[in-house]
Structure 1
Amino acid sequence: MRDELIEPLLSAAVAEAEPGEVMPPVPGPAGWTAARRDAFREFHRSHFGGGQVGPAGSIMYAVTVGGDVVGGVRLTRLDTPAEVVETGIWLGRSARGRGIASAALRAVLDEAVRIGAHVVVARTTPANRAAINLLRRSGAVIGVEQGQVQARFWLDEAFTTDLAG
Structure 2
Amino acid sequence: MELRRMDEASLEGLLAVAVDDAAPEEVMPPVAGPPGWTPERQEAFRAWHRARRAGLAGPLRESTYAVTHDGETVGAARLAVRGSGEVLETGMWVARSQRGRGIGTAVLRVLLDEAARTGARVVVADTTAQNAAALAALRRNGATLTSGEDTSDVHAELMPRAMPSTPPPTASP
2:120 is aligned, of 102, 117, 121, to: 117
Distance 1:154 1:105 in 2: 11
Structure-2 residue corresponding to 1:8: 13
- Relative contact order (C-alpha < 8 Å, sep 6+): which is higher? 2
Shift of the alpha carbon at 1:4? 1.4
Aligned 1:5-154 pairs, distance under 5 A: 5-49=10-54, 52-78=56-82, 80-145=83-148, 147=151, 148-154=153-159
Bigger helix fraction: 1
Distance 1:88 1:53 in 2: 18
**Aligned partner letter, 2:121:** H
**Aligned partner letter, 1:112:** A
* Structure 1 vs Structure 2 CA RMSD: 1.7
**Aligned partner letter, 2:41:** R
Structure-1 residue corresponding to 2:171: none
TM-score with structure 1 setting the length: 0.89
Distance 2:97 2:64 in 1: 21
Matched residue SS, 1:40: helix
Distance 1:81 1:54 in 2: 14
Distance 1:59 1:3 in 2: 14
Structure-1 residue corresponding to 2:3: none
Distance 2:80 2:86 in 1: 11
State the percentage of identical aligned residues. Answer: 48
Structure-1 residue corresponding to 2:162: 160
Distance 2:14 2:31 in 1: 18
Q: Which runs of 4+ in 1 moved over 4 A?
A: none
Report how many aligned residue pairs link the two structures.
Answer: 159
Shift of the alpha carbon at 1:53? 3.6
TM-score with structure 2 setting the length: 0.86
For residues 134-153 of structure 1, the C-alpha deviation after alignment (integer angstroms, 9 at most, x for no partner) is 11121000012363210001
For residues 21-45 of structure 1, the C-alpha deviation after alignment (integer angstroms, 9 at most, x for no partner) is 1111111111111111010000000
Where in structure 1 are there 5+ consecutive unaligned residues? none
Contact 2:124 2:155 in 1 (8 A): yes
Distance 1:104 1:34 in 2: 29
**Aligned partner letter, 2:104:** A
Contact 1:53 1:76 in 2 (8 A): no
The 1:5/1:109 distance shift into structure 2, 3 A limit, reads: same
Contact 2:112 2:159 in 1 (8 A): no
Distance 2:139 2:85 in 1: 24
